[in-house]
């Protein structure tokens, strides 16, 4: 089993990327003002080769390959075989194999939850939550974080090599659902010999996976922590995703999804998609507090379409840094998986039916300024769990940090998660820290 992995002191981050200098960005912030030539040139040949390598042979990750004898049955009605799952582990699995926590990542996350990212060299995306002495304590629990199906950091996705053609899958990969992701994770746990999880935790798309885990495998989940999520994607969220997908597909470098074969990359389209999505992760108050109407490195407007305002420069930087580490087709696949997620649809149109008789205990968390997955979505989860007779606690945290609050320094969230896991550990008979 993996040894305990520590990490550097966490820094505030918003959906992984943070504003500031990045050694992998060839143009500094001052040059990131024009979404044109720099956006094309900022992603270098080195970056492209790194990303391709991560898709098939991910660095600093564990990898399980499932052969033709273990196909994955997809909701699309076909089987995926062979396929692979990349993952990271932290901490030590106890002798009884009862202290495992599965951490599910969000749309643009990956398995590097509490360790340095091999491409960007940034710290783990949830090091505020996962690590030695953190609420999800790697000195007490065994943490497993897999890259989801359809992503681009080692688990089979559109940038992975199709064994039949020896070319990247591209759009030939079947469409993936949240339930498909969870099925693949269950196969991973079977491979690891872990029959039951102490807990499953995640925010946003990760929270959707948590809910799907509790619905599909109730006897394998002792405790569930769905944060800032919903039982289905709203029409507004589907609309935002469609704008992002159209931005990618409108880029002439997308080539109908065959850009790897043509040696191109729809960087501009993916960057614009990221910029639009990133706005939904924040709040008006957070944007005003951070940027207001402050100008970027100038005292007067330029009367041009350069990035006059700091908020413009920030968003363009988010787009530039995102294309270094993410695949455009994966963005299409994962946003579509979120759009298709509708837990009630699989249970006669009633969410409570998904959890009827469940032994799992739940802690549902929302944030007051999250307009992507507002508190009303979390309350709907709680009402369904109550109707199903499940054990559930609920917390709405007051913050102006928006949807990304679950990734940031939120002491109240840390206290809630720690308290919930401590209580669940006592109920399961897990020993406390020595």
The catalytic residue positions are: 204, 370, 403
Q: Which helix (H) or strand (E) holds 84?
A: strand 83-90
Alpha helices in 326-374 (DSSP H): 328-340
- CA dist 194 and 186 (Å) reads 9
For the CA atoms of 10, 15, 20, 26, the dihedral, rounded to the nearest 10 degrees, stands at 120
Here the tokens at position 288 are 């005003």
Give the number of other CB atoms < 10 A from CB of residue 95: 7
End-to-end Cα distance, the chain: 21
Alpha helices in 27-143 (DSSP H): 37-41, 45-56
Q: What are phi and psi of 253, to 5 degrees?
A: -80, -5
- CA dist 17 and 91 (Å) reads 26
130: left (phi > 0), else alpha (psi -120 to 50), else beta? beta
Alpha helices in 20-97 (DSSP H): 37-41, 45-56
Exposed, middle or buried: residue 309 (CB in 10 Å: 0-12, 13-18, 19+)? Answer: middle
Q: What are phi and psi of 113, to 5 degrees?
A: -70, -30
Exposed, middle or buried: residue 354 (CB in 10 Å: 0-12, 13-18, 19+)? Answer: buried
């Amino acid at each position: 089993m993996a040894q305990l992995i520590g990490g550097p002191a966490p820094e505030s981050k918003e959906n992984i990327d943070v504003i500031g200098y990045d050694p992998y960005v060839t143009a500094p912030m001052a040059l990131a003002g024009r979404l044109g030539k720099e956006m094309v040139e900022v992603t270098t040949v080195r970056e492209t080769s790194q990303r391709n390598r991560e898709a098939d042979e991910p660095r600093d990750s564990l990898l399980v390959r499932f052969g033709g004898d273990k196909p994955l049955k997809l909701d699309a009605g076909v089987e995926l075989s062979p396929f692979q799952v990349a993952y990271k582990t932290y901490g030590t699995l106890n002798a009884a194999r009862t202290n495992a926590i599965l951490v599910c990542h969000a749309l643009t996350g990956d398995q590097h939850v509490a360790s340095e990212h091999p491409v960007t060299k940034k710290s783990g995306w949830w090091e505020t939550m996962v690590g030695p002495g953190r609420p999800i304590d790697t000195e007490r629990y065994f943490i497993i974080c897999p890259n989801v199906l359809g992503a681009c950091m080692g688990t089979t996705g559109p940038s992975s090599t199709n064994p039949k053609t020896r070319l990247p899958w591209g759009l030939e990969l079947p469409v993936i659902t949240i339930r498909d992701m969870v099925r693949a994770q269950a196969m991973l746990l079977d491979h690891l010999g872990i029959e039951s999880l102490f807990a499953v935790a995640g925010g946003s798309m990760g929270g959707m996976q948590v809910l799907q885990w509790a619905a599909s495998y109730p006897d394998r989940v002792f405790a569930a922590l769905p944060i800032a999520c919903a039982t289905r994607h709203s029409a507004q969220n589907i609309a935002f995703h469609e704008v992002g997908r159209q931005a990618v597909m409108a880029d002439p470098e997308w080539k109908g999804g065959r850009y790897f074969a043509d040696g191109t990359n729809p960087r501009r389209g993916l960057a614009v998609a990221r910029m639009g999505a990133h706005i939904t992760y924040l709040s008006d108050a957070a944007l005003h507090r951070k940027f207001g109407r402050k100008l970027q490195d100038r005292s007067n407007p330029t009367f041009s379409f350069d990035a006059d305002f700091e908020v413009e420069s920030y968003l363009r930087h988010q787009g530039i840094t995102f294309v270094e580490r993410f695949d455009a087709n994966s963005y299409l696949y994962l946003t579509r998986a979120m759009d298709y997620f509708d837990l009630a649809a699989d249970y006669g149109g009633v969410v409570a039916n998904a959890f009827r008789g469940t032994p799992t205990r739940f802690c549902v968390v929302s944030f007051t300024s999250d307009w992507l997955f507002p508190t009303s979505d979390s309350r709907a989860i709680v009402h369904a769990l109550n109707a199903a007779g499940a054990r559930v606690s609920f917390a709405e945290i007051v913050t102006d940090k928006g949807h990304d609050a679950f990734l940031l320094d939120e002491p109240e969230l840390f206290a809630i998660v720690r308290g919930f896991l401590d209580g669940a550990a006592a109920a399961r008979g897990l020993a406390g820290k020595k």
